[in-house]
Chain A
Amino acid sequence: MNNKVIMWSMLFLILLGLYILGEGIIFVEGIRVKFAAILLVSITIYYYIDRARSGEEIYLRTIPGLKALEEAVGRATEMGKSVLFVPGISDLDQVETITGLNILGHVAEHTAKYEASLNVPVSKSIVMEAGRDICKESYLKSGRPDLYSDDMVHYISDEQFAYAAGVNGIMEREKPAACFYLGKFYAESLILAETGNSIGAIQIAGTGSMAQIPFFVTACDYTLIGEEFFTASAYLSKKPELLGSIKGQDIVKLMVMATMILTVVLNGLFQAGWISFDILSYL
């Protein structure tokens, strides 16, 4: 076991010990397990970020949807058509929207590089402002600030179906060659994706909204399913510290799986009357 593992484990134990000592005085009673879980998850992710920073190679499997981003922008450029980016209908308080905006930055870099026109209709004003900042930065990074215009990120409506109708109108009129749906979506997901499909656009979607994933899988060429969507920012930036957090996330998943199996076994033994320890009451 290396020194860093020992150091982080000590830190975990010390913080947990402090929490237990301060329960009822400084800290809330009865949520010790939650605190330990948050601490463990945070320390695990940070440990792997630290390892990646130290130069450890992190392997990330190929995600076809993210690999196809540049290809889609290139296709739009060849066809002389625009690129449409839809960041969902939620505000910036949703992690999906933030992830969608992160990917917008990468898409904007490609549109700047290929001189393709980018259209980002939004349904929330704060998202519009954040989207503009991100696009501006990307165009600057690509050395083409002259191609950037504030109006490429524009507001349509806060109303769900008014927004869907507005985006559909843009699709039907401009016939973009590439459509990206990356953010938080609700019932409008299929309306947008099917319209995009009908105009023959290459479509890449990604969302954390469970109910909308099947619709995107059906109607889009590539779909970032579940956690794939959240790894996009790290995958595209290739920054070691971000890649490290993905490995940390996978280790946490492994821990969750182990905890689930352990819980099932212990609860089975308890229900059979072989042990008196009830894991469910403790959790």
Chain B
Amino acid sequence: MFFKRQIPLLIVIGVGLLTLFGRFINNEAVRGFVSNDATQWFDIIASFAIFLGALNMLKLQLIKIIKKQKNWQYSILAVGGFAFAIFAGFFYRGANYITISDIQEGELTSVSGIIAEELNESNPFNIETKLLDSKDAYEIDKIFMTEGNAKIFMEKLTPYVDTITLNSKPWGAHVQTKGSLFYWMFINTITPLGATMFALLAFFVASASYRAFRIRNFEATLLLVAGIILMLGRVPIGNLIPWWVVSIMVMFGIGAIAAPFIKKRKVLLGIVGGGIIIFIIAGTLMGWNQTPPAFLSIPIIQDWIFAFPAMAGSRALMIGIALGIVATSFRIIIGLDKSVLGG
């Protein structure tokens, strides 16, 4: 219990206080620890911990396959994907590249032509220039996933080049090398799958907006009115809406907001209709066709909503969140809140 509770608690308190007050101490070692070392320690521990997660995932999927639980077929895909990622990351680099030197006399054009064809380069002259510029060996700008493919290409060059070397990118760097097996897997599976999930957001936003914008009460009405103005104000058509259309919209908005408080429909209709007529007459007399007032311009109203009421609300929320984080951190640092250590 001592090692499971007291020691972690001491570490939490010690590192917490050091991080909190370390920034005020005029000592490079302390500040270096707070700014860099401590976060690097966290990254190292987290990197090791990932094995725990991976093994847990593998264990659960294997149990599902062995016991043939519901939808166990999908688990085969999960285990297969896991095995393939491990293979491409740890056992098979698939990041071969070729370097050439000592091109035979008068064969520069032929060599650049072969390389350009392999690289799908339309202008072999670019390759020729690079070959001339390279002082030592020239590295062909292509990664071969298999050694076999690389050797086939090397055979094409052999009659014209004296020294051809087949190399591999170093372990670790191969996962980020464009053209390697791991990179291919990432670009062709993880990226499109992630993009698909992200794209789903568009549909979810639509269904969530529909629910949020349904007029149920005063707040929902305000949200609807503000939402419509913001949407119109952010698109080019918002600039083209004339002042009298905006004034009608404003009166409808006022009517929607006032509706829950006015029981007699005829009175409500009178307010909205009368307001529209007054607006249009006043606007025509005051020459708003030539110079419309700012408060009837959708982009300006949109800017105002964004810069004032929305900003004020979000900042109030932000201050609350920041203070919540401060108080929670303080409780943890002084060892008052030990729930994160298991109760």
- A residues adjacent to B (C-beta < 8 A): 19, 24-29, 31, 34-35, 38, 41-42, 45-46, 49, 91-93, 95-96, 98-99, 101-102, 105, 122, 124-126, 128-130, 133-134, 136-138, 141, 151, 154-162, 164-165, 169, 173, 187-188, 190-191, 193-194, 208, 210, 213, 215, 217-219, 225-227, 229-231, 233, 237, 241-242, 245-246, 248-249, 252-253, 256
Contact = CB atoms under 8 A, between A and B. Distances in A.
A226 B20 contact: no
B296 to A, nearest CB: 28
B46 interface: yes
A92 B330 CA distance: 16
B75 to A, nearest CB: 11
Contacts of B329: 95
Contact of B342 (A136, A218, A231): A136
A226 B211 CA distance: 22
B49 A225 contact: no
Contact of A93 (B25, B42, B74, B319): B42
A42 B25 contact: no
A105 B338 CA distance: 12
Interface string B311-343: 000100111110111111111101011011111
A40 B127 CA distance: 67
Which 10 pairs of residues, A with B, have the shortest CB-CB distance? A230-B324, A125-B53, A155-B53, A133-B342, A161-B197, A137-B343, A125-B49, A227-B320, A227-B324, A249-B327
B264 interface: no
A126 B339 contact: no
Contact of B45 (A126, A187, A210): A126
Nearest to B205: A190
Contacts of B332: 98
27 contacts: A28-B24, A28-B25, A31-B23, A41-B326, A96-B325, A124-B46, A125-B56, A128-B52, A129-B49, A134-B339, A158-B53, A165-B193, A165-B197, A173-B71, A190-B208, A194-B204, A218-B209, A219-B211, A225-B317, A226-B320, A227-B323, A237-B339, A242-B336, A245-B331, A245-B336, A253-B319, A253-B323
A107 B39 CA distance: 31
B326 A252 contact: yes
A169 B52 CA distance: 22
A32 to B, nearest CB: 9
A102 B340 contact: yes
A213 to B, nearest CB: 7
B119 interface: no
A151 B334 CA distance: 32
A24 B26 contact: yes
Given A27-B25, A227-B320, 13 more contacts: A24-B26, A28-B25, A98-B328, A137-B342, A141-B343, A154-B57, A155-B53, A155-B54, A159-B190, A164-B197, A187-B201, A215-B208, A253-B323
Nearest to A231: B324
Interface in B256-291: none
A270 to B, nearest CB: 22
B50 interface: yes
B325 to A, nearest CB: 5
B235 interface: no
Contacts of B327: 45, 230, 245-246, 248-249, 252
Contacts of B323: 227, 249, 252-253, 256
A125 B193 contact: no
Given A105-B339, A226-B317, A191 B201 contact: yes
B207 interface: yes
B308 interface: no
B8 to A, nearest CB: 10
B200 interface: yes
Given A26-B25, A27-B26, A102-B339, A125 B212 contact: no
B251 to A, nearest CB: 28
B2 interface: no
Contacts of B52: 125, 128-129, 155
A25 B193 contact: no
A273 B209 CA distance: 49
A155 B56 contact: yes
Interface in B178-217: 190, 193-194, 197-198, 200-201, 204-205, 207-209, 211-212
A25 B26 contact: yes
Nearest to A92: B340
B60 interface: yes
A227 B70 CA distance: 41
B71 A162 contact: no
A73 B329 CA distance: 29
